[in-house]
Amino acid sequence: MNKKVEVQNLGVKDYKETWDYQEELFKSTLDLKIKNRREELDIPTRNYLLFVEHPHVYTLGKSGDAKNLLISEAELKSKNATFYKINRGGDITYHGPGQLVGYPILDLDNFFTDIHKYLRFLEEAIILTLGEYGLKTERSPGETGVWLDVGTPFARKICAMGVRASRWVTMHGFALNVNADLGYFDNIIPCGIKGKAVTSLNVELGRKEVNLEEVQEKILKHLAHLFKAEFVY
């Protein structure tokens, strides 16, 4: 089992370009797994974690409702935003500058074959990271992601998650609001959940800006511990 994960920092990159790149890595891993099985080989599969910031974009998961996008195509253009229907789970979400997006393309056969556990580990890494900033975050029953003040009128989401998996290979991932422009969330019903607010790390800390690289390193540290993996650049 290969427990090494190759970390790639993509910087600011167009959503569709990044999605295509994810698909390329995802397919190459699937193809190798199929080849191994057919030819009775044992070639190790590779694992990746892509970190990226996207220009303003809204994405709708395969189980989502397009009505949760509250603005027209013309209004999207006026806000320099794009919209894609994509092949992950979940409903609608927003990505944009100041948001740290992580796309793990992992062969879970290298770690454990349990999608529920996989999602919980992603959430736990974010919860532990935010704990280092003094924030008490948690899961909300039945709602994937990471939240503050669950069960109160002030419940707000700080990290969204949505994944796809085939033959235990994952893609898509998590989006943590670090220095996000929260105004863009007003144009959607985030994750299809009405009446719940969204927040960002810099807002919760009362800071103008939080260092994204610092947050990224903390996430990597916790993922390495949880997955018992080695993350390498």
The answer, yes or no, to whether residue 192 has pLDDT greater than 70, is no
Establish whether 191 is a catalytic residue. Answer: yes
15 is in an annotated binding site: no
> What is the per-residue pLDDT for 62?
86
Cβ-based neighbours of 58, under 8 Å, separated by 6 or more = 69, 76, 81, 82, 83, 84, 92, 93, 94, 95, 187, 188
> What is the per-residue pLDDT for 193?
61
Domain that residue 213 falls in: 4-232
Question: Which is catalytic among the residues 108, 127, 191, 220?
Answer: 191
Q: Which of 61-70, 110-119, 140-149, 180-189 is predicted most confidently?
A: 110-119
158 is in an annotated binding site: no
91 is in an annotated binding site: yes
pLDDT band for position 64 (cuts 50, 70, 90): confident
162 is in an annotated binding site: yes
The answer, yes or no, to whether residue 161 has pLDDT greater than 80, is yes
Percent of the chain with pLDDT over 70: 97
90 is in an annotated binding site: yes
Residue ranges of alpha helices (H) inside 40-169 are: 73-78, 115-131
CA distance 94 to 190: 8
Where residue 117 sits, what CATH number does that domain have? Answer: 3.30.930.10
- Put simply, whether the predicted model's pTM sits higher than 0.85 gets the answer yes
95 is in an annotated binding site: yes
Q: Domains in the chain: how many in total?
A: 1
pLDDT band for position 63 (cuts 50, 70, 90): confident
Burial call 20-42: b when 16+ CB within 10 Å, e when fewer: ebbeebbeebbebbeeeeeeeee
88 is in an annotated binding site: yes
